[in-house]
Chains A and B, each alone.
Chain A
Amino acid sequence: MSAAAGADLVALEVMAPAVTGLVQGSVYGLLGLGLVLLYKSNRIFNFAQAEFGGVAAFTWIFFDTGKGFLPDTPTPVAVVIGILMAVVVALITERLVVRPLFNAPKITVVVATAGVLLLLIAVEGFLYGGEAGSFPAIFSGDAINEGAIRVTNQGLAIIVALLVLAVASALFFSRSRYGTAILAVSQEATASRLVGISVERISALTWGLAGFLAGVAGILLAGSIGLAAPGSLTGLALVPAFTAAVFGGVTSMPGALLGGVVIGVIESLATANIPKEDLPGSGQVVLFVALLLVLLVRPSGLLGKET
């Protein structure tokens, strides 16, 4: 085999899926960031996280296409409305479901978030119908298109969004009053109350932030796939996002971002290189094995300090 052909093969089997995985993994990282945030503040797993993104995506498409009695809104406005909707839904969830269960066992709250997930899928279904509809990319065109390796502008936007939000949240948590308050509550709720932090308001703030992150991720993901049905974003991204969060250490925000990218690349490489006849659903199997290994070998994850 000539060197050029070998390079082509590497490009096809390794580079191309790795690049796809990088984009996909950035979405996982964004969702994982929200999961970590909620875990840090409430010590729970939010099974509705990816569907908050679904809510944002559907709201966006409703306004963008002017469905029903809605006005035909320009895309940027529709996107903002979509993200706001995700924040609102997250806040409602916090107020009506999470807060009444403040003193309940954590497993109960987790079951309740699964209930919220189901409820959101049903409401999306009522309004949108069961069929998958098309979701146009917000940023059209390709950033890189060289042979097998292709990055769309939408993909680039996802990576940029991840980096910007990562830096922003790092600054928020290290510099701002509210950021440090969230961290304080996550470490010691009673003591935080004593120094005058309202635990309830901090909880609402955290859920709002998680909703925002999910909203951005959901709109970008739906546009990057081009198709979505009620619940499809959860089916696509929830498990990888959880794996990313656990992989990076479930309390570490940089860990979740790193974990997201690693998980995205691993999954994409497995799907591209293991034939379906040998092992169907190879991406999923690899995720499962990765999750098991992390939990059994290093439960605190790559960058986590606590379990």
Chain B
Amino acid sequence: MAVLEATQTRALPRTMLGWVPRLAVMAGLAYLLLVRMPLDEKFAPIYADAAIYAIVGLSLNIVLGYTGQLSLGHNGFFGIGAFSAAYALTVREVPFALTFVIAGACGALFALVMGVVALRITGLYLALITLVFGITLENSLFEVSWLTNSGAGQPANRPEWLYSDTRFFYFCLAFLAVAVYLDFMLLRTKSGRALLALKENERVAEAFGINVTAFKLLAFVLSGTLAGVAGALFAYRIGIVTASGLGFNLALLFVLLTVVGGLGSRVGVMLGGLLFASLDYVLHETWAHHVNDFVFRWDSAPQFAVGFLGALGLLLTIVKYPGGIGQQIRPITRWLAGGPFTLHDDRDSGPAAVEGSSVRA
């Protein structure tokens, strides 16, 4: 009982006064990230990308973070979402809102097919087969002429009220909010706890009466649905969908942002999305305006710098800091949530146990 009281008091600041600085910091961050930056039309597309990546990150987190299975084929689900939305809107003239349903359904369908196969193939082989799946879609389905407007790319024009990039960012943000909510609810349910149990030990989970195959399939389908919807958003973000840019590199980028963001950490994964969406722009800007002009010319550098830093971040995350960004910013997020500000990690209470999970766990 005493222990319980201790955790309860620790979860809240001692006085209501303690909330004042926390709310101030939260408001400041929210203003900066959700209002100040996206209102600049120059940054708005990057922020839209960040929101889209964050949705994919959450999607991959379900498979990789919760159930511990590696998918290198999420570019496939993402691409299917993008193409099906663009095709439905432009060729079949389906209403705009419905295209997201179609994209999600197509993503789910492909994930289901892939997942049925994956029931018999686990671990390393699953990583391999999803890799080949993604590459095959890129080279085959995404090159079929009726889908790609004879190879020119399938247009996906936003409706008039979404022309502004800032508005489109808020539109993506709404989707992200729904995705976060769904993810949050998923972990609250029996299914969510079953998924987490799978990651720890499949055999033990099975012994407790969890239908391992069914829940793996569920995780895959949920993940595919989210990735498909994110793909639809991406289609409207760029306006024309082609196979280029939907290849293995994209699958790697998704894995990067999820692992570097921090597996199992919602905030971390979303920050990973923001990081990798803006990295390219930041590097190009700093390089073009400062290093190339004043220090020395090195034109090929910015093109590869994202991959370099991303890969370095990934290796550091895996080898040294398994919790990723989510783990590193734990003191801040915990303080914002009302806890004390300490650098010591405690993973004792409820959802925090999920927050602290890692690639190596």
Q: Which residues of A contact B (CB under 8 A)?
A: 44-45, 96-97, 100-101, 104-108, 110-112, 114-119, 121-123, 125-126, 128-130, 230, 235, 239, 242-243, 246, 277, 279-282, 284-285, 287-288, 291-292, 295-296, 299
* Chain A positions within 8 Å of B298 at CB level: 126
**In the complex, how many angstroms separate the beta carbon of B125 from the nearest chain A beta carbon?**
6
A101 CA / B314 CA spacing, docked (Å): 14
B interface, over-half SS: helix
* Chain B positions within 8 Å of A129 at CB level: 299-300
Task: Decide: A130 and B304 in contact? CB cutoff 8 A.
Answer: yes
Q: A292-B129, A295-B120 are in contact. Are A281 and B140 (CB under 8 A)?
A: yes
B 305-344 binary contact with A (CB < 8 Å = 1; else 0): 1011011101100110000000000000000000000000
Q: A101-B319, A277-B145 are in contact. Are A110 and B120 (CB under 8 A)?
A: no
* Chain A positions within 8 Å of B229 at CB level: none
| B72 at interface by CB-CB < 8 Å | yes
A interface, over-half SS: helix
A239 CA / B129 CA spacing, docked (Å): 10
* Chain A positions within 8 Å of B138 at CB level: 281
**In the complex, how many angstroms separate the beta carbon of A278 from the nearest chain B beta carbon?**
10
Task: Decide: A130 and B303 in contact? CB cutoff 8 A.
Answer: yes
Told that A115-B318, A122-B307, A123-B304 touch, could you supply 16 new A-B pairs with CB distance under 8 A? Answer: A45-B128, A96-B315, A96-B319, A104-B318, A108-B318, A111-B255, A118-B314, A122-B308, A125-B300, A128-B300, A239-B131, A277-B145, A281-B140, A284-B135, A284-B139, A287-B136
A23 CA / B314 CA spacing, docked (Å): 36
**In the complex, how many angstroms separate the beta carbon of A280 from the nearest chain B beta carbon?**
4
The list of the 5 closest CB pairs from A to B, nearest first, reads A281-B139, A125-B304, A122-B308, A280-B143, A118-B311
**In the complex, how many angstroms separate the beta carbon of A138 from the nearest chain B beta carbon?**
26
- 23 A-B contacts, Cβ less than 8 Å apart? A104-B359, A105-B360, A107-B70, A108-B359, A110-B70, A110-B124, A114-B252, A115-B256, A117-B311, A118-B308, A118-B314, A119-B307, A122-B305, A122-B311, A129-B300, A242-B132, A279-B140, A280-B139, A282-B140, A285-B140, A292-B117, A295-B121, A296-B120
A117 CA / B307 CA spacing, docked (Å): 10
Q: A44-B124, A107-B68, A291-B129 are in contact. Are A115 and B314 (CB under 8 A)?
A: yes
Task: Decide: B124 and A296 in contact? CB cutoff 8 A.
Answer: no
A239 CA / B248 CA spacing, docked (Å): 11
**In the complex, how many angstroms separate the beta carbon of A213 from the nearest chain B beta carbon?**
19
| B133 at interface by CB-CB < 8 Å | yes
